[in-house]
Copies of this chain bind each other. A is one copy, B any other.
């Protein structure tokens, strides 16, 4: 990553800001406080690293308003409300250099059905396939080798990475980002057991991904049996997340890597689900509920509740049981000793 920023450019990016100290050189690198050197930009994003600010060799450090301490010679502190948000602004500027706006148009190697509608401001990269009746919205960017199926709809300002797949009739809202290898609209997993065999239940519903959703790499989101699987507005999925058919994920949820949600489960807005957690089917997870990593959710969860464990229990209870579990060796010993004492008492009282 090649970057080169002057102090005044950084100040402009992260304003409003209070500047303490000065640095005349250019910033060519971003680094953690302990890893930084002259010419590095760093930041205090987590208060536990507070002590590292004074010893950091970074030339420019983003610090929060409550930070007390002066910069060293030829070092500059930029005092901002949220240093990690400020850093994100700087990274956004860098991102634009990593991902320059593509030139609108359809690459000659792409295979686009005559009746597909591609916005003139959209970019369809090399070796993409756009089937009949599909739509790609304004300024959307299909990077390369993307597949958009019959009558599928990609909104405006979307970004689809290589080998991502949007199946027939599925819909993406505006500003949806889909990372490489992600599959949207594969068949739900449904069979009827007939005459000793699993007969397929056709999956003729769709997937609706609302606006401002980001979906990680190699995720799978199944189409509904006959209605819609929904990913709510602003929700973010990490890599390798699996969403079963007819699932409804609310708005502004966070699903961490490798989470699996079984069919027909409904997840409330602002829920947060830890990595590798699994949810059984036909459940209701309340608004703002939190589910720990590797948890196994087998029953409904009330709004705002934090559950953990496999099977999942309310967090406090689950923690308490863990502690008692680790005390089992003592408990077994203690019961042995009580038994011995009782035998003594019996002898003493000739029972």
Q: Is the CB of A189 within 8 A of B88?
A: no
Q: Is the CB of A181 within 8 A of B163?
A: yes
Q: Is the CB of B296 within 8 A of A294?
A: yes
Residues of A within 8 A of B (CB): 1, 30-32, 35, 82, 84-85, 87-88, 91-92, 94-95, 98-99, 107, 109, 111, 125-127, 129, 144-145, 147, 150, 161-163, 165, 167-169, 177, 179-181, 183, 186-187, 189, 191-192, 194, 196-206, 212, 214, 216-220, 222, 225-227, 234, 236, 238-240, 242, 244, 252, 254, 256-258, 260, 262, 275-276, 278, 280, 293-294, 296, 310-311, 313, 317, 320-322, 324-329, 331-332, 334-335, 338-339, 341-342, 344-346, 348-349, 351
Assembled-state Cα–Cα distance A204/B126 (Å): 24
Q: Is the CB of A180 within 8 A of B180?
A: no
| 26 A-B contacts (beta carbon < 8 Å) | A1-B206, A1-B226, A31-B226, A85-B194, A91-B201, A91-B225, A99-B168, A109-B111, A147-B162, A181-B183, A181-B218, A189-B257, A191-B236, A217-B220, A218-B219, A240-B260, A242-B257, A257-B260, A260-B275, A275-B278, A294-B294, A310-B310, A320-B329, A331-B331, A342-B342, A349-B349
A186-B335 contact, Cβ under 8 Å, with A242-B257, A322-B311: no
Q: Is the CB of B144 within 8 A of A147?
A: yes
**Which residues on B sit within 8 Å (CB–CB) of A310?**
294, 310
Q: Is the CB of B180 within 8 A of A94?
A: no
Q: Which of B98, B187, B262, B278 contacts A179 (CB 8 A)?
A: B187
Q: Which of B98, B161, B167, B234 contacts A198 (CB 8 A)?
A: B234
